[in-house]
Structure 1
Amino acid sequence: MSDPSTRDNILDAAQRIAAERGAGRITLDEVARESGLSKGGLLYHFATKEALLQAMLERLIARTSAVRETHEQTYAGHPNATLRAMLATRMNPEVLDPSVAMAILTAVAEQPALLDPLRQHIQQMRERILAESGDSPA
């Protein structure tokens, strides 16, 4: 099991590279350099670039979900609580800089299968919103 703080340090480094230099600059060598690890140290935590990109996307989803869940508690009992929470989350600058999210999505777009967790998350949110609104799917 990898050390969570080292893992977060690596993901933070990859996120900085994506935001500052573009998604195309996310390479294992660049991430190792940015995180202050040897390439072997990086490979211990993430054996492939795909594993690193997947972890970046999973962390993005987890962080966004945590903020949304806080907003859901605020809007509990209100009409369209999930939709309200999603909008409040999206408008919250503390969630994640949109340029970082876009860079991560651009990076994982090279491997379409890596987007499956995001697709599933979006589908679940869509279903919840439709159920709360009483609208039938189009």
Structure 2
Amino acid sequence: MRRDELLDAAECLLEDQGSQGLTLAAVAERAGVSKGGLLYHFAHKEALIKAMIERLIGEFDAMIEAQRESTYTRAYLKATFEAIESGRLRRWAVVTGAAGDPELLAPLREAMARWHRHGLDDEPDPRTSQIVRLACEGVWEVATHCPAIVDYAAVRQGLLALL
């Protein structure tokens, strides 16, 4: 449990101050622990960022599983819009922005490859399913950088209609 509180503190720092504000000392202070207490869980800043990314991937995997009623693509689509509507998308933007080292994003690249390959052969129309999944990536991008320009309910309905 303490580990999640440290990750929460780090995400809040990123959102408030950007990647320049993410220091181990600042995370420890925000979480109300000693720097040694933080170092017990995360030996260095890169370990902290990696843990934040891994937690986000795990949460999105759980969101997909919670939406599984028929096809994987429908679940992926619904999880995408849930992430946007719940504000989790903002967390993705700030955490991935903090990962200045491309190696820190390797788990995210692996997860994206898995998400985009998973179950395509089991879909009624694999090509349309792939298009919908890629459209979700575009929705994530727009929602991150210019959220007010999209009617998310209409886009969600349009993508569901394609399936």
TM-score by length of structure 2 reads 0.71
Instruction: For residue 24 of structure 1, report the CA deviation from its aligned partner.
Output: 2.5
Output the CA distance in 1 between the equivalents of 2:16 and 2:76. 27
Q: Identity percentage over the alignment?
A: 37
What does the per-residue CA deviation read over 1:78-110, in whole Å, with 9 as the maximum and x for residues that have no partner?
Answer: xxx22211111111133x4322210100011x1
Deviating beyond 3 angstroms after TM superposition, the runs of 4 or more aligned structure 1 residues are none
Runs of 5+ in structure 1 lacking a partner? none
In the alignment of these two chains, the number of paired residues is 125
RMSD: 1.8
Task: Specify which structure has the higher proportion of helix.
Answer: 2
Q: Map Cα deviations across residues 34-68 of structure 1 (whole Å, 9 max, x no partner).
A: 00011111111100000000000000001111011
* Equivalent residues in 2 for 1:1-138, closer than 5 Å: 5-72=1-68, 74=69, 76=70, 81-92=71-82, 93-94=85-86, 96-108=87-99, 110-128=100-118, 130-131=120-121, 132=123, 133-135=125-127
Q: TM-score, normalised by structure 1?
A: 0.82
Q: Which has the higher contact order (CA 8 A, sep 6+)?
A: 1
Distance 1:53 1:36 in 2: 19
Unaligned segments of structure 2, at least 5 residues: 131-163
